[in-house]
Structure 1
Amino acid sequence: MSVQSSGANKQKNRNYLFEISFLRAFACMAVVGVHVTATHYYANAQTWHWFTYFINQVGRFGTTIFAVLSGFLLFYQVRKRGFDTKKFITSRFSKILLPFLIWSFAYRYMVFHYDGLEFQGLGAELQRLLLGESFYHLYFIAIVVQFYFVFPLLQKIVRSKILMIVFALISLVISYKLFGFNPGVEGALGAFFASKTFMPIWLFYFAFGGVLAYFWEEIVGFATKRPWQMLVLALVVSAGAVVEYRITGQVSNRRLTNLINLPLLCIATIGMYPLLTKLTVIKKPLMVIGQYSMGIYLVHPMTLYLMVEYLPNSVWTVGNIPLLFLAVMVIGVVFIRLLQFIPLSGYVIPVPKIKKARPAQDASAEGRLRSA
C-alpha cells in the first residue's frame, strides 16, 4: 500500500472521532451518577453518605462537558464541511428538537399519571416546555436549542483560529459576569434570565467546544502523547472539586471554578483515550455508552423514577449504588438497542453511526501510548 493510500485511509477513519465518543461516555456516566445518588438521597429521608455525596458532586462536571461537546460538534462540522442552513435546520430539528418535544410530553404524562398533577393551562404548560422544565434533566436540551438560534450567525463571524480564541475569551467574560445573575425584572422573563436555562451563562462552554474543534489536531497530538500526565491532571482536577465541595458545601454544574476545570478536564480525558482503551473490557463499554449517550441522557430519569415507584425502599442502600448505577446504564442501552429495530426511531432517540475501518487509527493511538 502506498503512503498516499495509507494517509487517505487514516483520514477516512477520522470521520468518527473516537476520543470525542470517549469524552461523551464519561459525561454520560457522570450525569447518571449524579441522578442515581440524588434518587438515593430522596429515597432515604434526604440524608447523604460520604460516598454518594462524592459521586453526586464530582459528577456535576457531566452536564457542562455535554455543553462543550455540543459546541465542538457544531463548529467541527462547519470547519470540515461548511455550513448549509437548510441541512442545519433539518438536522437539528430531527436529532434534537423533535426528541426533546417527544420526551417532554412523555415525562409530563408520566408525572400526571403517577403524581396525580392537574393540567395547569396551556400557557403555563408551554412555558414549562420551552424552559425544559417538563422534567429535571430537560433544561439542558432547552439550553442547546437556544444556542442553535445564535449559531448560524456565530459561524459566519468565527471562521478562523484567531477569531475562535477571541470568541472564547469574550464568552469567558460573559459567563463569568452572569454567574448569579439577577436581572431585576419581574415575571416570567425575569425568572428566565435568572434561571439555569438562560443560555449565555453557558456560553463559554460552547465556545470552548469551538476551540477544541479548531485546534483538534494540535490538542489530540499533544494530549494523547502524554496519557499518564493527563490521568494525573484529571485526578488533580477531581481532587480540587472534592476540596471545593468540602469547603463550600453543595456545588453547581455552573460554578465559577468550572471555567478553569472544564477545559483542563476535557483535554485530560481526551489524552487518556489511548491509555484507558488498551483493554477491550473497558474500551467496548465506553464506546457503546458514548454512542448511546444522548439516548441514555433522555431515558435514565424515567428509569430511576419507575425504579423508585416499583422497587422497595430497602433496595436504595449505599452498598447497592454501584448495582443501581449499572442497572440504569444497562436498561438504557438495551432500551435504545431495541428501539432501533423500530422504523423512524431515530426521531425519538438519535444514535450516531460509527464508521468502520478503524485499525489504522487504533495503531496510531497505541503508537502514541508506547512513545509516551
Structure 2
Amino acid sequence: MAIDRSHAAPRKERIDEITILRAFAFFAIVLQHCIGEYIYRPDIPAEQAIFLGMIYHFTRYGTLTFVFLSAVILFYNYDYTVPYGNFLKRRAAAVLAPFTIWTVIYGIYTLRGQLLAPEGWRLLASQFITPTYGYQLWFVLMIFQLYLIFPWLDRGARAIGRRIQSRAAGQGQIERRVVLLLAALAAAYAGLMYWSYSMAPAWDAPAWLRPLLGHRTMLLPFYFFYIALGIVCAWHVQRWRDLMRRSVPWSLLLFIIFYTYAGYRLLEAGVAPINLNISTYLKPSVFLLILAQLPLMYALALYVCRRKGRAYRILHKIGTYSFGGYLVHVLVLGQIARFTRETPLAGMHAALTLMTWAAVAALSIGITMLLDRLPFGVWLTGPMGRRQAASAKQLGSNPAALPYR
C-alpha cells in the first residue's frame, strides 16, 4: 500500500544528546532497582546500607528524565496538525503492544501454576491496570496519557507562546518571560509535590477518588513540570543547549546542597532498615535534587556527543535499545535474584549490587538487540533504530509555525 506523504514533516536536525540521555536514564533506573533488591536484606551491614542509600540519590533523575525526553521527542517531531487517529494507532503499536506482551510474560513468570485457576487469571488481568509483577511497566501507562492529550496540549502551549510573544518587546524579554513562566510552574509543581507527600496520604478522599489517589504516581499531571521543560527544549534546542552548558556551576552547587539534604533526611529516618520511600521523587526536596541534576546530565550528554569517542558509540547503542532494555531488565534482575537470595552475602551487599547492576544492564540490552532481530521483534521492543525513524517519517505532520523563537 502506498504511503501518503502529504503530511510528511521536513527533515530536522537530530538531537543526538537525547539518545545519550536515554542511556544515562536507563542505567539510573536499573541501578535503583538493583539497590532495592539488596538494601532490604536483613543481614546487610549498616555502613553498606548507608552507602547504597547515598548512591540511590544519584539515580533519582532516571524516570523523570524519561518523562522529559518523551516530551522533547514528541513536541520536536509532531504538532497538533498530526492526523490524530494514525498518530494514536502508531503510538499504541509502539508502546502498548510491548506493554501487553510483557505484562503477560511477567504474569506467567510470577503466577506460574496459579494460572490454572480462575483466581490466577484475575490476578493477571489486574496487571494491565496496576502493574506490580513487571513493576516498571507503570511508566508505559502513564506516558501514553501524554499521547492521548498531545494535540490539545500542543495547541495550548502554542497559545501561551503566542501570548508571550505579543506582550514582549524583543527576544531578550521573550526569554525572560519564558524563564519566569518555568519558575512559576516549578513553584506550582513543588506545591503539588508537598501535597502529594505530606497531605494526600492523610486525606479522607471520596470513595471514587481513592483508587486514583493511591496510584497517583501513574497519573500524568504529577509530571507536568518535566513535560513543560521538554516542550521548551523541543522548540528551542540550541538555546536550551547553551543554557545547560552555562548552568553547570550553579547546578553543581545546588545538586551538592540538595543531595546532602536528601541524605540527611534518609538517614534521619533510620538505617535498620533504610526506607528508600523517604526519597520518592514525588516529594519537594527530591524534586529540587532532580531539578539540579538534570542540567548536569544534559551537559554531560552534550560533552559525550562533542567528543564522539568510544563512550559515545557505546552509550548511543545503549540509548537506542533502552526502551526494550527497560521492559526486560526486571525479568533479568529477578532471575539473578533467585540465586543471590539463597546465598549468604557475608557483607558483600554493596559490591554485589554494583556487579548485579552491570550484569542486568548488559544482559537487558543484549537480549533487546537479539529480540529486535526477530521478524516480530518490534512487538517486544518497540520500534528502534531505522524502524523508529521510518515510522516517524511515514506519519509526520504539517508543521505549525512555532509561537516564538
Match of 1:265 among 284, 293, 299: 293
- TM-score (ref. length: structure 2): 0.73
Contact 2:279–2:286 (CA<8 Å) still a contact in 1? no
* Cα distance change of structure 1 residues 176 and 46 upon mapping to structure 2, 3 Å threshold: farther
Aligned to 1:33: 31
Displacement after TM superposition at 1:239 (Å): 2.5
Q: Tell me what 1:6 maps to.
A: none
Once the two structures are superposed, residues 36-67 of structure 1 have per-residue CA deviations (whole angstroms, 9 ceiling, x without a partner) of 11112245546662332222232122111111
Give 1:51's aligned residue: 51
Q: CA shift at 1:241, angstroms?
A: 4.2
- Equivalent residue number for residue 19 of structure 1: 17
2:264 is aligned with 1:247 = yes
- Per-residue Cα deviation, 1:313-370 (whole angstroms, up to 9, x for no partner): 24663223332211111101210111122012112102532799xxxxxxxxxxxxxx
Equivalent in the alignment of 1:173: 188
- Partners of 1:170 and 1:318 in 2: how far apart? 38
> 302, 313, 324: which one pairs with 2:343?
313
**1:226-245 superposed matches below 5 A:** 226=246, 230=248, 232-233=249-250, 235-245=252-262
Q: Hey, what's the Cα distance between the residues in 1 that align with 2:128 and 2:228?
A: 26
Which stretch of the first structure deviates more once superposed, 49-58 or 307-316? 307-316
Partner of 1:184: 204
State the one-letter code of the partner of 1:251.
S
After TM superposition, give the deviation of residue 169 of structure 1 in Å. Answer: 4.5
Aligned equivalents of 2:39, 2:115: Cα separation in 1: 23
CA separation in 2, counterparts of 1:222 and 1:27? 20
Which residue of structure 1 lines up, in the alignment, with residue 76 of structure 2? Answer: 76
Would the aligned equivalents of 1:292 and 1:336 in 2 still touch at CA under 8 Å?
yes
Instruction: Identify which of 289, 296, 305 aligns with 2:325.
Output: 296
TM-score by length of 1: 0.79
Kept in 1, the 8 Å contact 2:255–2:292? The answer is no
Q: Is the 8 A contact 2:35 2:52 kept in 1?
A: yes
1:172 touches 1:203 (CA, 8 Å); kept in 2? Answer: no
Residue 172 of structure 1, CA deviation: 5.7
Q: Give the total of aligned pairs.
A: 340
Distance 1:233 1:28, change over 3 A: farther
Query: Cα gap change, 1:302/1:24 in structure 2, threshold over 3 Å: closer, same or farther?
Result: same
How far apart, in 2, do the equivalents of 1:189 and 1:133 lie?
21
Which one scores higher on RCO, CA 8 angstroms, separation ≥ 6? 2
3-state SS in 2 of match to 1:179: helix
1:167 deviates by: 8.5
Taking structure 1 as reference, are residues 18 and 213 closer, same or farther at Cα in structure 2, changes over 3 Å only? same
**Superposed CA RMSD:** 3.3
Aligned to 2:235: 214
Q: Is contact 2:329-2:360 (8 Å) kept?
A: yes
Task: Indicate how the Cα distance of structure 1 residues 314 and 273 shifts in structure 2: closer, same or farther if over 3 A, else same.
Answer: same
Comparing 289-298 and 192-201, the one that deviates more: 192-201
CA contact under 8 A between 1:72 and 1:210: conserved in structure 2?
yes
Q: Tell me whether 1:193 sits opposite 2:192 in the alignment.
A: no
Q: 1:40 to 1:219 in 2, by over 3 A?
A: same
Whether the 8 Å contact between 1:24 and 1:66 is mirrored in structure 2 is: yes
Measured in 1, the distance between the counterparts of 2:124 and 2:204 equals: 24
The equivalent position to 1:202 in structure 2, one of 223, 234, 237, is 223
Deviation per residue, 1:207-241 (Å, 9 max, x gap): 221121122121113435x5xx63x5554454334
Specify every segment of 5 or more residues in structure 2 that has no aligned partner in the other structure, as ranges.
1-9, 165-177, 267-277, 390-405
Does the 8 A contact of 2:93 with 2:379 survive in 1? yes
Tell me, in whole angstroms, the C-alpha distance in 2 between the residues paired with 1:141 and 1:350: 12
